[in-house]
Amino acid sequence: MKVPFFRHGLGRAELERLAKVLRGPILTTGAEVFEFERKFSKYLGIHDTVACTSWTGAAHIVLIALGVGPGDEVITTPFTFVASALAILQAGATPVFVDVELGTGNLDASLIEAAITRRTKAILPVHLYGQMADMKAIDRIARKHRLKVVEDAAHCVEGSRDGVRPGQLSDAVCFSFFATKNLACGEGGAVSFRDPSLSKKLRLLRLHGMTKTSYDREKEGFKPWDVEIFGWKYNMDNLHAALLLPQLGKIQKNAARRRERARWYRRGLQDIPEIELFPAVPRSVHAHHLYPILVPARHRGIIVQKLREKGVETTVNYRPVHLLSYFRGQPRWRRASFPVAEKLGERVLSLPLYPGLGKKECDYVIRSLKRILQSLPAKS
């Protein structure tokens, strides 16, 4: 049996919406992008959304819009995809890593205040795997120290914790629509926010600082345009928005399917002594973007290899950022600086998880894992 790590569920509805764009005059930013921004904001219960080419671009420009720049520090987690740190660097600031919780892999709020200095400007928590970080605790700290908060919800469109959804206790929240995400269009991202004053600035920042777009010129005819601020080329186009729009109507259905498949895994894996599962967090709705498990560090490589030989694709999310070559050598980022992140990074393994994953496929993954673990040599 072949079980890919991810299989998208795009189909007729997305093709029809894409065909509609191809029949029209505007392929770049236009009506579909604006419709997606409105509908996504309504789903989140938040003021506005600016759609971009990636999570990284969205995070870059919102950090700048919030006044983060050279000389500033942004507190974040080392246990995340590297983009979380790179967006801070692109804004000219310095990422300051704080270790994570063993039970979730999320930023440990109890360690944040010790990392705050006079240069700290913001906190960037990551909702890892689809489990929201403790936003109520982070919000209290941010208010106390007058810091900005930008959430990384690349894994967490549908999640909540303590009655709080992404974006409700922060200055902004950034999303990814990468090929494997719960909302996917190949490449894409967005920033959503509550403050109406950010709307115009972020739309300028995502498109060279220009006051007119191709869509404006198609509607109005040529009118002189200006560049008001220094901007970047991060604008989402109608083609990508067309792929996203039909998925908005399927968010809850697909979220329920992901939860069901997560339950299949939990029931099948919970009694295997060599495997540790992440515990459920009370008063939380997990988005289940990924299904991570913890396996013996000394055997992870061979487990990945043997699963692949059986047709099961897996991956590692993530190797801690401070251990990547680009970040090594900095005094504050030496090995053993963040022991919990490093421990998780050595053991974590992500299993296939997506709405179209069948029960037989899931059972096959579980059986394959059991057989592989039984074949491994006992610890001496």
State how far the Cα of 255 lies from the Cα of 159, in Å rounded to an integer.
9
Q: What are phi and psi of 210, to 5 degrees?
A: -80, 145
* 63 Cβ contact list (under 8 Å, min separation 6): 74, 87, 88, 91, 93, 122, 150
Query: Between β-strands 172-176 and 148-152, what pairing exists: parallel, antiparallel or unpaired?
Result: parallel
Written as six digits, the tokens of 32 are: 């579909």
DSSP letters, 22-88, are HHSS--SSSHHHHHHHHHHHHHHT-SEEEEES-HHHHHHHHHHHTT--TT-EEEE-SSS-THHHHHH
CA 109 to chain centre: 19
Q: How many residues comprise the chain? A: 380
User: What is the set of active-site residues?
Assistant: 181
Per-domain boundaries in the chain:
12-248, 251-375
Q: Specify the CATH class of 12-248 in words.
A: alpha beta
Please report how the helices 238-248 and 12-23 are oriented relative to each other, as an axis angle in degrees rounded to 10.
Answer: 150
The pTM of this model reads 0.95
> Quick one: CA dihedral 203, 243, 54, 154, positive or negative?
positive
DSSP letters, 175-230, are EE--TTSSS--SS-EEEEES-TTHHHHHHHHTBTTBS--HHHHHHH------B-S-
For residue 279, give the DSSP letter.
P
196: amino acid identity, one letter: P
The H-or-E segment that residue 95 falls in is strand 94-97
176: amino acid identity, one letter: S
Q: What are phi and psi of 334, to 5 degrees?
A: -75, 160
State how far the Cα of 301 lies from the Cα of 193, in Å rounded to an integer.
41
Residue 297 near residue 342, CB atoms below 8 Å: no
- Position of tokens 């498109």? 207
The H-or-E segment that residue 121 falls in is strand 120-124
Count CB-CB contacts under 10 A for residue 67.
11
Q: What are phi and psi of 116, to 5 degrees?
A: -75, 130
Closest CA to 313 of 264, 348, 353, 359: 353
CATH code matching the domain that covers 251-375, chosen among 3.90.1150.10, 2.40.30.10, 3.50.50.60, 1.20.1600.10: 3.90.1150.10
Mean pLDDT of successive 10-residue segments in the chain (380 residues)? Answer: 96 97 95 98 97 98 98 98 97 97 98 98 98 98 98 98 98 98 98 97 95 76 85 97 98 98 97 95 98 97 98 97 87 82 98 98 98 83
Residue 55 near residue 178, CB atoms below 8 Å: yes
Q: Do domains 12-248 and 251-375 have the same CATH topology?
A: no
3-class DSSP assignment, residue 98:
coil
